[in-house]
Each structure stands twice: as C-alpha cells, then as structure tokens.
Chains A and B, each alone.
Chain A
Amino acid sequence: MRFTTTFLVALRALRRNTMRSILTALGIIIGIGAVITTVAMGTGAKVQVEAQIASLGQNLITVMPGSSSSGGMRGGFGSSATLTPEDYEAIAAEVPNIDGISPEIRDRNQILANGLNWNTNVNGVGPDYPYVRNWPMAAGAMFTDQEVKSLAKVCVIGKTVADQVFPNEDPIGQTLRIRNLPFRILGVLTPKGFSVFGSDEDDVVLIPYTSHMRRVSRRTSISMIRIQASDADKIAEVKLSTEDLLTQRRRGREPDFTVRTQEELSTTFTATARTMTVLLGGIALVSLIVGGIGVMNIMLVSVTERTREIGIRIAIGAHGNDVLLQFLIEAILLSVLGGGLGILCGYGASEIVTYYFGLPTLVPMWSVLLAVGVSTVIGIFFGFFPAYKAAQLDPIDALRHE
C-alpha cells in the first residue's frame, strides 16, 4: 500500500471519529498550553528579578543599620542613630578600591509643584548615587558635591514623578515644593521600572542627603550606604575594610550594622525565583500528566472498537505494517495539530497574563520542546501501542475482540 493511501486512510479514520480526535487533541493542547504558560510565568519572574538585581548596580556593597548577628534591625530608645553621615564620610575617605559611594535616606513626602500634589519617595542621596545604582540621567544633570556641601535646595526626579507632575512640560529648571521649601529640578532619571519588592522605582525625588537631614526630615541617621567596588574581585576586600572601619569607629560597642555584597543579595533572590520556577514547573508537570492521562483514557476506551477495525482491515488484506503506519500517522497528526495549537495557546495565555495581570512572562525554548516532546510521546505511545498489539493478533481474534 502506498504511503499516500495510508495517509488518506488515516485522515478518514480521524474524520470519522471527530469527537475522539478533538478530545485527544484537547488533552495535548491543555497539557502543552499549561506547561508553556506556567514556565513562561516562572521564567519571566526570574528574568525580571535578575534584571532588577543587575539594576541595583554593579559590584555593589550595601551597609545597613542593625546587626545581622542579632537578627536584623535593632531599634528602640537610645539606639536610634546607628548609621551616620560620618560613617559614610569615613568610608569614602579611608576605604580603598571604591569607585563610587552614596548614602541614602528614605522618606515619603507630599510634594507640590505646578499646582499639583503628589505623594512620593523623597530620598536623600549623594552625587554618586546614579552611578552606583547604574541609573543614568535621561535629561539634565545630577547635583554635585558642592551642592551637597552647601545644603542646596536642588533635586532630580524619577520618570513617574516627571509624568505625574509635569505631564506636558519640561520639568528641568522648574521648582517643586517639599515641606513648603522650593527645590529646583536639575534633571530627570531614566525609567527603571519596578523594584525587587514590587514598588515603582521611578516614583522618586532625589535631593542632597545633607538637605534632607537638615531641611526636610531632620534625621540624624541614614537608611543605608551603597558602595561600588572598583572591581569584582575587590568586593570582598572592600567589604572587610568597611566592616573593620565601622567596628573601629564603634569603639568596642557591639556592631550595629550589616555589610552585604550584591552577591549575597542576589543569591537570596535567585533562590526565591528558582523555588518559584520549580513550583510552577511542578504545576506544569501535573497538567502535562493530567492531559496525558486524558489522552491515554480516550485511546484506551477506543481500543475495543479499534481492535475490531484492525481485524477488519487485516481480514481484507491489510498488512500489519499498513495498519501500524496508519495509526502512527493518526497519532502524529493529532500530536502535531494538538501540539501546534497548544503552543499557540501557551503563547496566547502568556500574553494575556502579561497584558491583564502585568506579570512578566518569557517562553523559553526548552519548555516548548519539553511540552511538545512529552505530549507527542504520550499521544504516540497510547495511540500506537494498542494498535501494535492488535496488529499482532490473528485477524479472527481481532474481530472477536470484546
């Protein structure tokens, strides 16, 4: 029998069992679609976290108040000012192999500009801040050392603030009011997106930390210090020197600070992201199995009917191989069709997740291959195996099959 004829026979068989064909394909579609979507969500989240960690800056070391050995932040009466601007100045002056360093004071404030009110993050930082955060200016310039020293009332703003407060004009050169003090806008930062913690990084106004402490928040301590080491293999050294210096400055008091490298940070986050991918992968695997079992059931339910069909075909002159080829073609057609639709559904669902839920998704090639591979194997195995068994029977036994 020629291949084309067998192909025709297979097509006819699929057509006359439309319901079975659709259900089988549906199992494959759901399995593949689910795998692709869930893996896309996991990978999207991981890629985003990685990008955010990279966006924190390079070769980054952070100094936070609170001792890691005593379990996080220590606060309360008398122990408030743990990290001071003097600590920052000392590190900047004495620790070698530093490319950039900036203190950071975090605060939320109401700002007023252009007749509009906006509640935003008003952070006090140093001139190196955009450099350390790997966060270049989109327009204008960062304030200078001179402006920090002179407690200047200047600021740079993030993209969100620029969009909200100055929707149709160039904000540079304009003033905005924080606590009723006018701050001149020197520049606008490039958009950075959402942070690892899910907050909008661009919803920010940066002012000199000195101005922040004296004019806005009247704080005496700073929230953190960010240091950029000059080279990746200097990170450990810078960390040690910083710890030594700060310990020295505390003169025997219990260390009340934590120095962490970016690597330590990112391992935490990537570990979380990996857990999530594994979790989603597990869910995907379950849906693949469920889809596979669906396919299997449909195939097994139709074994009796198909065994008779095979008996009839062989009785009137089909070779075992003709029948096997026919069943193989049927299984492959269903798998390819279901697989193709499944991939489309997977991509579609990923797009929907991104569009409607704002979650980043990314479809990695391996998930497509895995999903298609597994469901094709399932489809072919369960479509083919009963056929293989039936084709070994004597035609009369296949015809008698119940």
Chain B
Amino acid sequence: MSSPVVQIRDIHKIYESGEVPVHAVRGVSLEIQRGEFIALMGASGSGKSTLMNMLGCLDRQTRGTYLLDGIDIDKLDRNELADLRNQKLGFVFQGFNLLARTTALENVELPMLYGRHRRVTASQIRERAMYCLEIVGLANRADHMPNQLSGGQQQRVAIARGLVNEPQVLLADEPTGNLDSKTSVEVMGVFQKLNDQGITIVMVTHELDIAHYCKRNLILRDGVVVRDEAVQNRSIAAHEMAKLKEAETAAKLLAGATAA
C-alpha cells in the first residue's frame, strides 16, 4: 500500500491572539490515504476549521508534525507553502472567499494564473476553468459576478476554483452549509464523482445525512478526535437525486390530480 497523503501526529493549535490563549486543537493524530473521502464533524467551536486550515497549509500548527505527501510542512518557507497549496491542495472556504466584482470564470482561473510549474496558455486556462464550472453545473453563469450568484452558486464556484489545478486533496469547510437539501445532494454528487476519479476529499459538515455520503467520519470534540469510523451503507448522490426527482414528479402529479 502506498504512503498516506496526509500524516499528522499529535498536532496542536493554540491561538495566542486574545487575552487568554485558546487551545483549539489538542493533539490530533491522523492518517489519510489516497482516495479517501472524509467528513469532519463536531459541535461549533470544536476546532474543525482550525484543523482544516492546518491541513490546507493556511495556518501553521503550534506543535506536532504534518507530512503532506511525505513532505514535512514545518520545513517549508512561505513561498514553498504557497506552491504546495497551489499544486497539491484545493481549498473551499467556509465563507467562499471569492474575489468581489470578478466573474465566476476569472475566479476559477485564478489558481492557474499562479501555477508555477506548468506552462499553459491563456486559452488553455480559460478552457480548463470552463470545464471545472461545467463540473459544478455553472457553465451558464461563467460571466456572472459573485454578487449576482446565489449562496449555493457561489459555493460551487469556490469548489470549481478548488478543483482547477487538479489537486491531490480537496479540503472543503462546510461546503453545504448554506445550501438547501437538493443543492447539497448535487454538491455531494460532484464530490463523489471527483472522489471516484481519485481525488482525496476532506470536508467539514454539521449534517449527519451529508456525512453519510462520505466514506469515513471523524468526530471532533474540544479539539480532539473522539470518534473515527468507516461509513456503513453510504448514500450515493445519484440514487438520492433520482429519488428526489421521483418524489417531485409524484408531488406534481398529485397536485395536477387535485387541481383537475
């Protein structure tokens, strides 16, 4: 078996910024293999975002080691970390963090503009960004600004941006937090498709039924992992969508029948 993509050992995060230090993550050890699909759950304030930010190399741990793809993150400087985020990681933020007054397409193109190792032309970038928007079903909104998009659409633009550089690991902080159940299932469908293609996904969610689309569930409480289990009878988005459609048509037929 190949080495794990993510290997963290006894990782801690202490925020020193406030009056009293906040010990947000208190010793988490975790191995994530390629192709895994993990849901990170836990109460508000349990340290999910903090852990995700460290996994995404956006923030440094206070203690402990983090090997991403075998590389010790602690030994990298700012620019090497930036390259790592650009090439190996895709991050979907809890608050989208799209560039304002910038079209969906340009937002998605952004990580490719900062790609350092691959030489690509502007038209290749555009094509690839368009393809990613298609994956999340927003090709027809490519020219829209973030403020012209619904929350769920912005979320999907953020996902497309996370995908555009073909990351090994996609990290998503509450990707379905702002979405209705149908759109949530759509997003989970996208994730399952990507996961089937081999992308490792870690996502935060509060909803148990959403976590059921993943392969492995982690539960965090007060900065420590209290439960780590494989998902039995995992939901398949395609099936759920079909069921939803059926229910919808049934409702329509019913409505039609009563109207008639």
A→B interface (CB under 8 Å): 1, 5, 8-9, 12, 16-17, 305, 308-309, 311-322, 394-396, 399
Contact = CB atoms under 8 A, between A and B. Distances in A.
A312 B85 CA distance: 12
A313 B110 contact: yes
Contact of A317 (B60, B102, B106, B115): B115
A220 B100 CA distance: 88
B168 interface: no
B139 to A, nearest CB: 21
B97 A319 contact: no
B87 interface: yes
Contacts of A394: 58-60
Contact of A315 (B85, B115, B165): B85
Contact of A9 (B56, B78, B98, B113): B113
21 contacts: A1-B113, A1-B114, A8-B113, A16-B99, A16-B101, A17-B101, A311-B97, A315-B97, A316-B91, A318-B114, A319-B79, A319-B82, A319-B114, A320-B79, A321-B79, A322-B114, A394-B59, A395-B58, A396-B53, A399-B93, A399-B97
Interface of B: 53, 56, 58-60, 78-79, 82-83, 85-87, 91, 93, 97-102, 106, 110-111, 113-116, 161, 165
Nearest to B119: A2
Nearest to A305: B100
Contacts of A316: 85-86, 91, 110-111, 114, 161
- The DSSP consensus for interface residues of chain A is helix
A71 to B, nearest CB: 72
A396 B59 contact: yes
A18 to B, nearest CB: 9
B82 A5 contact: no
A321 B87 CA distance: 18
A317 B97 contact: no
B60, B101, B114, B116, most chain A CB atoms within 10 A: B114
Contacts of B106: 12
Nearest to B101: A16
A396 B58 CA distance: 6
Contacts of A395: 58
Nearest to B97: A312
